[in-house]
């Protein structure tokens, strides 16, 4: 039995939301908390409905395509059944060639984060240095410009030679991938510290440490986090291709393996899962971004 007061409040909110949705009281909105809560719920509901509409359209189109190709493309229903089979028991392990989707995903995430962390540990300090010091910027920037457009997969053979392990080579390419956006954003952030802020530090005799912690880092942190967000996004793109090359384990390997087993249902299910995980990663970092952004 819910607490009486809360229950009443909930009922009121629901009633108000319903009233708002039918435009009954829009003309005379009293600006209270109840009203804003109801409005927020209503907007959230609306957004859910829009998203659902999009997915219905997509699934409709998919169904149409599978009908036209006469089963070349599996039907949504068949795919969802396979999807359900996959996520129902995600952590089973029947030997090296038959592992649950959760284990595959976990192994990919571990590699992505390992490469991403190493890359960030390298890129952030170098970015700070390049942003703060014109000499470093001039020396390193041309290198960055040449290496940045290279597909990280091109580094795979070098990783293999260096580490003599496909798994390590995959981490290596994620490391390379994660470097550029973080490096460029960090150095841009530091380089764009306004003179006003620098002058304050100069005029009041800030120590190097105080300048770093009270001016440089607070100003560049939002830029750094944006860089990290871009990095993890690209890393998640690259891991699928990387694991197709390296084999053995991971979501990319799972896609390739499913293709070899001629199960497009599994491939499409994997695509869905990769998309959802990518979305969650991005949301996580954009949440962080909002947390560290100061408002002017």
Partner 1 sequence: MMNDEWIMINECNTKLVQHQNLKNHKMSYLKIENMEIAFNSLKGKFVAVKDIDLEVEKGQIVSIIGHSGCGKSTIMNAIAGMTFPSQGKVTLNGKEVKGPGPDRGIVFQNYSLLPWLSVYQNIYQAVDAALRDLPKVEKRELVEKYLQMVNLWEHKEKYPKQISGGMKQRVAIARAFAIDPDVLLLDEPFGALDALTKASLHIELLKLWNLTHRSKTIVMVTHDIEEAIFLSDRIVVMYNGPAATIREIEEVHLPRPRNKKDTVNQPEYIAIRERLLSLLMDKVSIDEKDFYKEEAAA
Q: How far is the CB of 199 from partner 1 (least distance, A)?
A: 7
Nearer to partner 1, 193 or 251 (CB): 193
Q: Which of 63, 206, 263, 272 binds partner 1 (CB under 8 A)?
A: 206
Q: In the complex with partner 1, which residue's Cβ is closer, 218 or 247?
A: 218
Q: Which one of 72, 94, 196, 260 is in contact with partner 1 (CB under 8 A)?
A: 196
Among 40, 46, 202, 283, binds partner 1 (CB under 8 A): 202
Smaller CB separation from partner 1, 191 or 215? 215
CB-neighbour burial class of residue 186 (10 A; exposed 0-12, middle 13-18, buried 19+): buried
Binding mask 266-295 for partner 1 (x = CB under 8 A): ----------------------------xx
Q: Give the C-alpha separation, 238 to 170, whole Å.
A: 9
Contact status: 192 vs partner 1 (CB under 8 A): no
- What track of x and - describes contact with partner 1 for positions 211 through 240 (by CB under 8 A)? ---xx--xx---------------------
Q: Which of 210, 283, 290, 291 binds partner 1 (CB under 8 A)?
A: 210
Task: Please identify, using beta-carbon distances, which residue of 192 and 199 lies nearer to partner 1.
Answer: 199
Q: Is 182 within 8 Å of 228 (Cβ atoms)? A: yes
Nearer to partner 1, 103 or 200 (CB): 200
Q: Interface with partner 1 includes 200 (CB under 8 A)?
A: yes
The residue (of 200 and 272) whose beta carbon lies closer to partner 1 is: 200
How many residues form the binding site for partner 1 (CB under 8 A)? 19
CB 214 → partner 1: shortest distance, Å? 5
* CA gap 292, 221 in Å, rounded: 7
Of 68, 161, 203, 262, the one binding partner 1 (CB under 8 A) is 203
Residues forming contacts to partner 1 in the complex (CB under 8 A) are 196-197, 199-207, 210, 214-215, 218-219, 294-296
């Amino acid at each position: 039995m819910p607490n009486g007061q809360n229950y009443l409040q909930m009922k009121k909110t629901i009633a108000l939301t319903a009233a708002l949705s039918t435009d009954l009281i829009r003309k005379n909105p009293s600006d209270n908390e109840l009203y804003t809560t109801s409005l927020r719920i209503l907007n959230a509901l609306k957004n859910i409905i829009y998203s659902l509409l999009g997915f219905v359209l997509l699934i409709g189109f998919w169904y149409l395509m599978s009908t036209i190709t006469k089963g070349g493309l599996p039907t949504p229903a068949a795919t969802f059944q396979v999807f359900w089979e996959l996520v129902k028991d995600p952590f089973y392990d029947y030997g090296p060639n038959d592992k649950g989707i959760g284990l595959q995903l976990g192994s990919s995430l571990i590699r992505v984060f390992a490469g991403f962390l190493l890359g960030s540990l390298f890129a952030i300090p170098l970015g700070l240095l390049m942003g703060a010091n014109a000499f470093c910027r001039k020396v390193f920037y041309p290198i960055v410009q040449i290496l940045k457009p290279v597909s990280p997969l091109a580094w795979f053979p070098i990783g293999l030679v260096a580490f003599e392990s496909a798994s390590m080579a995959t981490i290596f390419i994620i490391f390379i991938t994660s470097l550029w956006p973080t490096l460029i954003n960090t150095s841009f952030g530091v380089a764009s510290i306004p003179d006003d802020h620098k002058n304050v530090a100069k005029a009041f005799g800030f120590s190097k440490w105080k300048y770093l912690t009270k001016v440089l880092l607070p100003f560049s942190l939002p830029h750094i986090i944006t860089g990290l967000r871009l990095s993890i996004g690209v890393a998640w793109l690259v891991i699928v291709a990387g694991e197709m090359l390296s084999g053995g384990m991971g979501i990319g390997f799972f896609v390739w393996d499913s293709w070899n087993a001629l199960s497009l249902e599994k491939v499409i299910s994997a695509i869905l899962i990769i998309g959802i995980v990518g979305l969650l990663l991005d949301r996580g970092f954009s949440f962080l971004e909002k947390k560290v952004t100061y408002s002017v």
